[in-house]
Amino acid sequence: MRKMLFCLMAMMGVLTMTAQSIYDFTVKDDAGKDVSLAEYKGKVLLIVNTATRCGFTPQYKDLEPLYQKYHGQGFEILDFPCNQFGQQAPGTIQEIHSFCTANYDIHFPQFDKIEVNGENAHPLYTWLKAQGGGGDIKWNFTKFLIGRDGKVIKRYESRDQIVTIEADMQMEVNSVLSNMMARRSVRKYLDKPVEHEKLETIALAGINAPSAMNRQNWAIRIIEDQKLLAEVKDMCRNAPNLICVCAPADGRFDLDAGLLGENMMLAAQSLGLGTCIQTGPIRFLTTDEKAKAFRDSLDIPEGFKLLYVISIGYPDEQPEAKPRDSSKVKYIK
C-alpha cells in the first residue's frame, strides 16, 4: 500500500513538472466525477480556493457579478473549497454548494474539496504556485488569473481588490485588448510566404490609422517577390515578406507613419502572423549597392524616405512577454 502511494505521488510530481498549461490537469467536480480542465481551453479563468466560514467569504458577492458580467465573453470562475485554513470550509461539497447558492446565488462551477498546500496538495495547485511566483497559499480566497493559452498571468492574495483583478481580466477577455497584449516582436519565421489576401487586410488596417488632417502622408511597399527578398533576407530577419514604410523626408509625418505601422502589426497578430519593426537595415537598404535592385523596386515617391521596415511571416518562435514599467504612468486627478 505504501509503495502504491509512493508511486502515485511520484506520478503526480512528474505531471506537475511536465505540465505546459492548466489543460494538462484533471479535477473532480461536486459530484465526484473527473473533469479535464481541457474543457475550458480558450477561456479566461479565475481559480479560487474558497471557504464558507471565513472573513473573506463575502467576496462571493463580488465574484458572482464578475462572473455574470464576463461569462458571455469566455470567462469562467473555478471554485475549489479548501479546509486547510482554520478549518473554515467544513462539511461536504454538497453542503458547501448549498450554502453558496442560498446565500450568494452563485452560478459558476464549484469542484470537490481539495488541499492546496503540503504533501497532499492537488497537482493543479502545485503547478499554479510554481507558475504564479511560488510559495504556499497563504489563506482562503487566493486567486490565479489564467489566460486563454492556459498559462498563469497573475496571482492575487486574499485582500487584493476585485477591481484590480477586473482591470487585468479586461486585457484577456476583451479581444482587442488581448490581441494587443499578445503581440511580441518575432525574429524567427517559418519558410512560408504570407498569403496575398492577408497582406491586403493588413495594409487596409494600416491605412485606416489616424494621420494629421487625414493627409495620409505615407507610402507602403509590401514585398512578395522572393527573388528581391533573397537579396536582403540576411539583414531583415530572413522574413518571408517585408513591409516597407516611407514618409516625407522632412520628418514632419513620422508619427503618422508610426501609427500606421502599429495598426499593421496588430492586424498581423490577429491573423496569426508575427512581426518585427526594424530601422537597423535602413542604411543598407538605401545605400548599399547589393540592395540596388530591391531599392529600385520600391519606387519611393520624390521627397520621401524609407523610414522603417516590418518583417512579417508565420512565427517560428513564441517569445515571452518582457516586463513593463507601470511606474512611468501617472494619473493627474
Cell digits of residue 265: 502589426
The amino acid present at 75, given as its one-letter code, is F
Strand partners, 244: 221, 309
Q: Is 43 helix (H, G, I), strand (E, B) or coil?
A: coil
Catalytic residue among 7, 54, 82, 244: 54
The verdict on whether 236 is a catalytic residue reads: no
Contacts with 88 (C-beta within 8 Å, 6 or more apart), sequence order: 51, 52, 53, 54, 140
Rounded Cα–Cα distance for residues 163 and 161 (Å): 5
What is the rounded distance in angstroms from the CA atom of residue 141 to the CA atom of residue 111?
14
In Å, how far are 24, 81, 171, 278 from 331, measured between CA atoms? 41, 38, 19, 32
Transcribe 132-190 into DSSP letters: TT-S---STT-EEEE-TTS-EEEEE-TTS-HHHHHHHHHHHHSHHHHHHHH--B---B-
**CA 17 from centroid of its chain's CA atoms:** 22
How far is the C-alpha of 55 from the C-alpha of 52, rounded, in Å?
9
List active site positions: 54
